[in-house]
RNA sequence: GUGCUCGUAGUUCAACGGUAGAGCGCAGCCUUGUGGUGGCUGAUGUUGCGGGUUCGAAUCCCGUCGGGCACCCCA
């Protein structure tokens, strides 16, 4: 057989990894619905010209075309979507007449980007987005809400602590204008390199590439250094002595998000004025999230306020949203062994088969368990019980059911907990496993290796 | 797309230009139709692919395909 190479950037998980991913997806859905977000799905393809930002050609897009397209056939100009926000904006415009606003929706789908993959970066990956879109206007408090919902989700998952960092586009842009910058986007892009190349080289780039004076560059760097868990950043920014109306607006918005979110969930967000990223359609609050201890992998959740993404003739639908990078998060969790699952299969019980003639008796046990919502499977072959137990053990199935043998009808069915070795009489019409054993459990990996020895 | 680096068993990795190996995993047995550990036995490779140099290539050279990392950009 030809050797099959795995395709870089198109990750496929093993069963144990998928259990963890699915737990994250299930939890996301649960938290989102708990906060009243409805579920939507959009098609995987969009017209490429709708996905381009500011008219520039985006090389990240995978183009879709028919293999047998003829030369004279018009190119439909379709590409796979690279995020869920742009398609959602298009969806809103297309169905606006039939939708209720403000519209709260969550959307969990694959997206594609034609980049070169590396750690935590894929060509095909899953995002879990929430957005609120209003008609004409969107109340500011939703910018607080996004941070609260995402922080709730991240705190619910069995993962390391996440730092939700918030900044505001108006603040940064107003500040840059205030120090005399002409190209605020350019300043933003250079500031974003602070982590990688340090303040000295950023300062130099600000002068050469963004055309700032040394004093202005120094102030921009000083601004980026400000990071507070509360609204005290306002005074620190004021101390830099830059005056600008947009800056003032940004300052008050950001302090409202930070104080609002922390009132709801203490310690959930920090104001971090270095956060410059986000796509260029963001117009206000921007979010970014790092897993504490794994900052180098990049943000696992980001988003922001966008006022102009969905707009028709005269009609605007401003929105705010935040996205969880499910694939990136899962890849960190698996690579660093931060999260474990109690088993990689749904079955809580393996029903043993004594011999092929009595397989119907085993199937009957399974049926009665399933009727009561207990996931189970019947052993694939009537091997020696030792092998059947090992079959369960390998997969993490916690219980093996032994049907009564016809030859020895005085004995009833028994069930063995293969973790403890305990084996007791059981009746398929009323036996119930502990709640924890019904579904695979996903939990933070205990860091001591001694703990894992106990549960063989 | 640019640069760097690496491709050997299912997997993690060895092997100076000289007979391709080990750990883990897998299969069987010790083991009684009831699995942890232990012991014994066994199976598995076009050394990514193609060409070149050489008496001889996993090893050196060229090409190609694939992986990883960095840049770019971002979840």
pLDDT score of A454:
31
CATH classification code of A15-44+81-340: 3.30.930.10
Nearest-nucleotide field for A454 (CA, C1'): B36
The whole-number Å distance from A8's CA to B6's C1' is 15
pLDDT tens-digit series, residues A362-421: 999 999 999 999 999 999 888 889 989 999 998 889 999 999 875 555 678 999 999 888
pLDDT score of A452:
35
Only one residue has tokens 């609002």, namely A260
Q: Which of the 8 DSSP states describes residue A328?
A: H
Cα dihedral A12→A17→A19→A20 (10° resolution): -120
Nearest-nucleotide field for A391 (CA, C1'): B35
Query: In this complex, which residue's CA is closest to the C1' atom of nucleotide B2?
Result: A116
The whole-number Å distance from A385's CA to B31's C1' is 12
pLDDT score of A415:
94
pLDDT score of A260:
96
> How distant, in Å, are the alpha carbons of A301, A361, A362, A378 from that of A400?
41, 15, 11, 10
Nearest-nucleotide field for A288 (CA, C1'): B75
The whole-number Å distance from A128's CA to B32's C1' is 55
Domain ranges of chain A: 15-44+81-340, 349-439
A 10 A CB-CB count for A444 gives 13
* Mean pLDDT computed over A16-31: 94
The whole-number Å distance from A190's CA to B71's C1' is 15
pLDDT score of A58:
56
The yes-or-no verdict on residue A55 having pLDDT over 50 is no
Q: Protein footprint on strand B: which nucleotides are under 7 Å from a CB?
A: 1-3, 26, 28, 31-36, 46, 48, 66-75
The whole-number Å distance from A405's CA to B13's C1' is 49
* Mean pLDDT computed over A9-33: 92
A349-439 architecture in CATH? 3-Layer(aba) Sandwich (3.40)
The whole-number Å distance from A267's CA to B1's C1' is 42
Nearest-nucleotide field for A303 (CA, C1'): B75
Predicted ipTM beyond 0.85: no
Percent of chain A with pLDDT over 70: 93
* Mean pLDDT computed over A313-329: 92
pLDDT score of A244:
94
Band of pLDDT at residue A164, cut at 50, 70 and 90: very high
* Higher per-residue pLDDT: A6 or A276: A276
Among A192-201, A320-329, A423-432, where is mean pLDDT lowest? Answer: A192-201
The yes-or-no verdict on residue A133 having pLDDT over 50 is yes
pLDDT tens-digit series, residues A273-294: 988 765 578 899 999 999 998 8
Report the C-alpha gap between A390 and A399 in whole angstroms: 11
The whole-number Å distance from A127's CA to B67's C1' is 25
pLDDT score of A6:
67
pLDDT score of A371:
97
The whole-number Å distance from A405's CA to B34's C1' is 15
Query: In this complex, which residue's CA is closest to the C1' atom of nucleotide B72?
Result: A115
pLDDT score of A308:
85
The yes-or-no verdict on residue A450 having pLDDT over 60 is no
pLDDT score of A407:
56
Only one residue has tokens 């036996």, namely A431
* Higher per-residue pLDDT: A379 or A209: A379
Nearest-nucleotide field for A324 (CA, C1'): B75
Query: In this complex, which residue's CA is closest to the C1' atom of nucleotide B69?
Result: A118
Nearest-nucleotide field for A358 (CA, C1'): B33
* Mean pLDDT computed over A346-373: 94
Query: In this complex, which residue's CA is closest to the C1' atom of nucleotide B75?
Result: A325
Report the C-alpha gap between A229 and A262 in whole angstroms: 9
Closest CA to A413 of A422, A396, A360, A423: A423
Is A419:A434 a contact under the CB 8 Å cutoff? Answer: no
Average pLDDT over chain A reads 88
* Mean pLDDT computed over A352-369: 93
Is A138:A108 a contact under the CB 8 Å cutoff? Answer: no
The whole-number Å distance from A53's CA to B63's C1' is 40
């Amino acid at each position: 057989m030809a050797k099959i190479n795995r395709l870089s950037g198109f990750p496929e998980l093993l069963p144990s990894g998928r259990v963890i991913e699915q737990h994250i997806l299930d939890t996301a859905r649960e938290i989102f619905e708990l906060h009243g977000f409805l579920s939507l799905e959009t098609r995987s393809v969009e017209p490429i010209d709708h996905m381009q930002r500011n008219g520039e050609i985006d090389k990240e897009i995978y183009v879709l075309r028919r293999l047998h397209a003829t030369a004279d056939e018009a190119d439909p100009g379709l590409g796979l979507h690279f995020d869920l926000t742009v398609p959602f904006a298009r969806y809103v415009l297309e169905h606006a007449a039939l939708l209720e606003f403000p519209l709260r929706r969550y959307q969990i789908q694959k997206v594609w980007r034609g980049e070169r993959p590396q750690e935590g970066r894929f060509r095909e990956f899953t995002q879990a987005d929430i957005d609120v879109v209003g008609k004409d206007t969107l109340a500011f408090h939703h910018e607080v809400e996004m941070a609260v919902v995402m922080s709730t989700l991240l705190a619910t998952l069995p993962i390391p602590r996440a730092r939700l960092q918030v900044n505001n586009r108006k603040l940064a842009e107003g500040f840059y204008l205030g120090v005399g910058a002409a190209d605020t986007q350019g300043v933003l892009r250079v500031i974003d390199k602070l982590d990688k190349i340090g303040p000295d080289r950023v300062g130099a780039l600000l002068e050469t590439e963004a055309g700032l004076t040394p004093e202005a560059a120094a102030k921009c760097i000083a601004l980026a250094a400000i990071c507070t868990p509360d609204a005290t950043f306002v005074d620190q920014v004021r101390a830099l002595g830059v005056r600008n109306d947009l800056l003032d607006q940004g300052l008050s918005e950001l302090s409202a998000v930070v104080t609002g979110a922390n009132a709801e969930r203490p310690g959930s967000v920090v104001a971090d004025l270095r956060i410059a990223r986000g796509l260029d359609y963001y117009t206000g609050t921007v979010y970014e999230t790092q897993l504490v201890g794994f900052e180098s992998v990049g943000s696992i959740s980001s988003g922001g306020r966008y006022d102009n993404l969905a707009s028709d003739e005269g009609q605007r639908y401003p929105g705010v949203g935040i996205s969880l990078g499910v694939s990136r998060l899962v890849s960190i969790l698996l690579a660093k062994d931060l999260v474990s699952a109690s088993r990689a299969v749904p079955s809580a019980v393996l029903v043993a088969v004594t011999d092929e003639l009595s397989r119907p008796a085993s199937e009957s046990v399974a049926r009665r368990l399933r009727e009561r919502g207990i996931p189970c499977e019947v052993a694939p072959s009537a091997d020696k019980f030792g092998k059947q137990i090992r079959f369960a053990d390998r997969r993490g199935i916690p219980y093996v059911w032994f049907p009564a043998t016809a030859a020895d009808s005085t004995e009833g069915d028994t069930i063995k907990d293969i973790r403890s070795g305990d084996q007791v009489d059981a009746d398929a019409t009323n036996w119930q496993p502990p709640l924890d054993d019904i579904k695979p459990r996903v939990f933070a990996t205990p860091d001591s290796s001694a703990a894992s020895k106990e549960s063989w």
